[in-house]
Structure 1
Amino acid sequence: MYLPKKAIGFSLLTLGLLGSCGKSYLELQPRNALSTDQFYQTQDDAIQATNSTYAQLRGYGMYGEGLWSMDIMADNSFVGGGGAADGIELQQLDTYTIPSSNPITTVLFQRPFLGIGACNQVLANVPGIKNIDPAIQNRCLGEAEFMRAFYYFSLTRLFGDVPIVLTPPTSAGAVANVSRDPSAMVYAQVEKDLLDAITKLPATNYTGDDVGRANKWSATALLAKVYLTEGKMAEAATQAQAVISGSGKSLWPNYGDNFNLATENGQESLFEVQYKSGLNQYTLDGPGSAINEFWGARFFGNPYVVSGGGYGFNIPEKEFVDGYEPGDLRKAVTLFVPGDKYPDGQVQPASLQGDPNGYNVRKFYAGAASTIWDSPLNVPVLRLAEMYLILAEADMNTGKMADGLTALNVVRKRAGLPNATTLSIDVVLKERRYELAFEMDRWYDLKRTKTLVNNPNLIPKGIKPFNDLLPIPQVERDVNPNLGQNPGY
């Protein structure tokens, strides 16, 4: 895999936007002040700098830990863990008692700005490199635009209004007092970046060490999702259909191949977070994924079914499990339920600590061979199946009910289910819930369809009308009062 094995300690928004750049991506310490004067000289410099725009995806505050917390805030899962003193920050999210000092919401705000800072460095400096293949130069710029759009899309969905900074500041003071821009402006910038990225990125799949980079279809798929989130249904349908028709991608016959180490970055994949094992350390900023251990059955098995013992967080809700239709082939791929066997023959028990019904997520299970916080299994972010579901929802909203049903039933057929005969938002949301389960989408789906705060499964948890946004971190507001705070916090 090409992504740099670089761990960057999270910093304040200001330091993140300042960015950094250097020729070694194998270091495991923060580096926030390297000069760009002697960098950005060669094609290799441009590629390495572009690699750094992806690096934040793996870490604490994105897919390492952070975004999967949003599943706990939704109705698919609850905290689990080891009891009242375990995972307090997750319990605050689960019960909607979220202080502005919550460490997860804090890093959900900070981490994307580190990525944006890296993107801004590429977009500001790569155009000036003379010793570079123009096609590679264009590709690097398109990748940086794609990633900047990705980070801003994450931020505005979580926090609403956020500062838009598109160039590397010359000093910390230059961004110390930035204000939040309206979310409509953020979405406009996301659209602009993606539309330009589509013109710069190659339409073909990557090979060799470049596998995993964003291409034209990654950007088109993300744009379809952005339009869907904004409620621009005709535009969402156009982009989703473009991916279905033009990408050359197809659904795996077996749903489970989307979550299999041997088939990652495969025929259905449009974009994945790349992971690689080998560090074997307790760090959320290494090259491997911690999901295997965080989600694994809590300290179960002899030997443990997860290396080091699973922590048993992100436990599927009984209501979610009971909601599978009979014959849905996705259930066995997504869940461990009592009686299921692990590869070594051990059997899932009827209950575990923090897990009274004996359910665990199977979808990203990498087995006992995965060392501590170091799973090699990628996390799919954009898949072709979602493009069919976006098309179904968009067609429904633009009066093309028959076309929408056809798109929906492509996904249901692969799941082993009969064709749906009616189309409604409830039907589409349910299909998204089970097709994309634990791929960190459910909270956003409930929010954008205005079914979050009145969700009957969340009302007992204590959800309040203002909980459709997260709090701006107090540590950021202490440094910059101009950031303000979201209502209710």
Structure 2
Amino acid sequence: MTNKKVVCASLLMLGLLAGCGKDYLDEQPRDRITSEIFYKTETDAIQATNAAYAELVRYGMFNYSLWGIGDVMSDNSTLGGGGGSDGIEFQQLDNYNIPSSNPLITAHWRSCYLGIGRANLVLANVPAITMNEDLKKRSLGEAQFLRALYYFYLVRGYGDVPLITTPPASAEAVNTLTRTPAPQVYEQIVTDLKAAADNLPTGPYSGDDIGRASKWSAKGLLAKVYLTQGNLPLAASQALEVIQQSGKTLNPAYADNFNVAKENGPESLFEVQFRTSPQEYYDQNGPGFIGNGFFGARGLNTVRTGGYGFNIPEKEFVDGYETNDLRRDVTIWKPGDVYPGTPRIVQPASLPGSPFGYNVKKWFTGRDLTPLQYDSPLNIPVLRLADVYLIYAEAAGPALGLPYLNRVRRRAFGLPIEVPSARDLTITDVTAYKAAVLRERRYEFAFEDDRWYDLKRTNTLIPVMRAQGKNIQDFNVVLPIPQSERDVNPNLVQNPGY
């Protein structure tokens, strides 16, 4: 790659720059939109805001990289696949032998910064637009929420990262950035989420606006940020506000959270919006979720191309389900399960890459679509009310939190959510209680890209992965800074150990 191409890649990482001086060109560029001819109308503001959402469905975020980090790097799953060098980028994550050139961690970094760059452009330019004031507030709130979300993934993944809150004015400004201490990044995340909560409507949205962030998206994410920081009182108070005031309710059935016909439902606080792709092949940056094909059983005709059999549930994870936990049959395929549709296909006792015959089921829509598609229109929840219940349960402790932990458990067993049951826990020991909440999170949010971050923030990642036989080192609690970014900017000091 030439130096010019590397520089361009780095600029792409940060989204559009603020714009060059008027003297740079005598004529108005005709092949692209610039900041001098854009950001003039209400439509421009909405389109710019939409662009900040767009990275969520891309290769570097929920369509590909995040299930490698959140799932495969955790104790929930292993790579699977066809063996040999198949999915080598995931093998590196799975085995904790991660070079700084790994394409998944590189794409994740760049997607986050592209999203941040687009949010920064909204926040820098939309205030000056003459438009409906409510829509202006909403656009600014969405940009603040999204910037916080992208930074939340960055700081949890890489530790100290460059903090950029305004569009860089030049390539030189980009290529001399240094890493900002994580506490300062968290401070900005909190600031953004508080501002977003003030600017965003309470919802619900309708029509083309369904899926946008709301006030309760921001407050729910703020509760999760506080929990990650270890600020339990603020995590509890924010979570309780969402529980009591948002109007959100748990879906009566756990499976409703993963039903295409019931997306953005009563439990949803924020989810990544996928839709059916017209092509007959996978596109890591397309509108549909490619996990439908990547998680599909290898060698069975359940999705177009037969499925790749990646992200295989670990036997220990599957064996850990309690008897009659309904989440199991929503989450995994196990031997003997029958796929919907014709011809009749039965999950075998073993598969290539899956010696115990397990596959991820939660995102499967392959045989419900005509014709068979590789990708899926099923949204991925980023935050649901069950998460807020368990945030509150963890932060408030057993005296106040047990009722919310037990509500989640009751639903898992198909019981009335508000009625005490034999499945309720009665733990009073704080250490045992914390372990019970973490375990409940594991099974409630399995394959929703969250487990690795839960293990990290509870300081259990190293012992848990070593118990699973992984060669994890102490420095693997963060990802390496992508080498391609350090080639452009030597100020991006590498994390120790990489």
TM above 0.5: yes
Amino acid at match of 1:329: L
Tell me what 1:186 maps to.
185
1:79-123 deviations in Å (ceiling 9; x for gaps): 000002200111111111111111111111111000001000000
SS in 2 for 1:12: helix
1:207, 1:122 → 2: CA distance? 23
Work out whether residues 202 and 214 of structure 2, in 8 Å CA contact, stay in contact via their aligned partners in 1: yes
How far residue 282 of structure 1 moved from its aligned partner, in angstroms, is 2.9
2:271, 2:380 → 1: CA distance? 6
Amino acid at match of 2:263: E
Q: Tell which structure's C-alpha radius of gyration is larger.
A: 2
Tell me what 1:5 maps to.
none
RMSD between aligned residues: 1.8
1:68, 1:218 → 2: CA distance? 22
Work out whether residues 15 and 32 of structure 1, in 8 Å CA contact, stay in contact via their aligned partners in 2: no
> TM-score of the superposition, structure 1-length normalised?
0.92
- Mapped pair 1:420 → 2:425: yes
SS in 2 for 1:286: coil
1:163, 1:267 → 2: CA distance? 36
2:161, 2:374 → 1: CA distance? 31
How many aligned residue pairs are there? 464
Amino acid at match of 1:478: D
1:227-271 deviations in Å (ceiling 9; x for gaps): 000000010011111111111111111100000000000010000
1:139, 1:290 → 2: CA distance? 30
SS in 1 for 2:306: coil
SS in 2 for 1:315: strand
1:18, 1:85 → 2: CA distance? 33
- Mapped pair 1:477 → 2:474: no
Work out whether residues 291 and 363 of structure 2, in 8 Å CA contact, stay in contact via their aligned partners in 1: yes
How far residue 373 of structure 1 moved from its aligned partner, in angstroms, is 4.2
SS in 2 for 1:460: coil
Amino acid at match of 1:362: K
Tell me what 1:3 maps to.
none
Work out whether residues 18 and 170 of structure 1, in 8 Å CA contact, stay in contact via their aligned partners in 2: no
Tell me what 1:7 maps to.
none
Greater Cα offset, 82-91 or 144-153: 82-91
2:264, 2:436 → 1: CA distance? 29
Alignment gaps of 5+ in structure 2:
1-6, 19-29, 414-421
1:19, 1:384 → 2: CA distance? 35
Alignment gaps of 5+ in structure 1:
1-9, 22-30
Work out whether residues 194 and 220 of structure 1, in 8 Å CA contact, stay in contact via their aligned partners in 2: yes
- Mapped pair 1:106 → 2:100: no
Tell me what 2:22 maps to.
none
Q: How do 1:335-414 residues align onto structure 2 when only pairs under 5 Å count?
A: 335-344=332-341, 345-368=344-367, 369=369, 372-396=373-397, 401-414=398-411
Amino acid at match of 1:143: E
Work out whether residues 60 and 284 of structure 1, in 8 Å CA contact, stay in contact via their aligned partners in 2: yes
2:340, 2:32 → 1: CA distance? 47
Tell me what 2:81 maps to.
81
Tell me what 2:124 maps to.
124
Tell me what 2:471 maps to.
462
1:373, 1:339 → 2: CA distance? 23
Tell me what 2:219 maps to.
220
Tell me what 2:249 maps to.
250
1:243, 1:486 → 2: CA distance? 36
2:303, 2:31 → 1: CA distance? 36
Tell me what 2:39 maps to.
40
Amino acid at match of 1:209: D
Amino acid at match of 2:44: D
Tell me what 1:432 maps to.
441
Tell me what 1:453 maps to.
462
1:269-327 deviations in Å (ceiling 9; x for gaps): 00000011133143211111101001111121xxx111221100000000000000111
How far residue 224 of structure 1 moved from its aligned partner, in angstroms, is 0.6
2:249, 2:120 → 1: CA distance? 34
Q: How do 1:38-187 residues align onto structure 2 when only pairs under 5 Å count?
A: 38-70=37-69, 71-130=71-130, 132-187=131-186
Work out whether residues 72 and 94 of structure 1, in 8 Å CA contact, stay in contact via their aligned partners in 2: yes
Work out whether residues 74 and 465 of structure 2, in 8 Å CA contact, stay in contact via their aligned partners in 1: no
In percent, how many aligned pairs have the same letter? 56
Cα 1:193/1:11, change in 2 over 3 Å: farther
> TM-score of the superposition, structure 2-length normalised?
0.91
1:305, 1:449 → 2: CA distance? 38
Work out whether residues 465 and 472 of structure 2, in 8 Å CA contact, stay in contact via their aligned partners in 1: no
2:213, 2:137 → 1: CA distance? 13
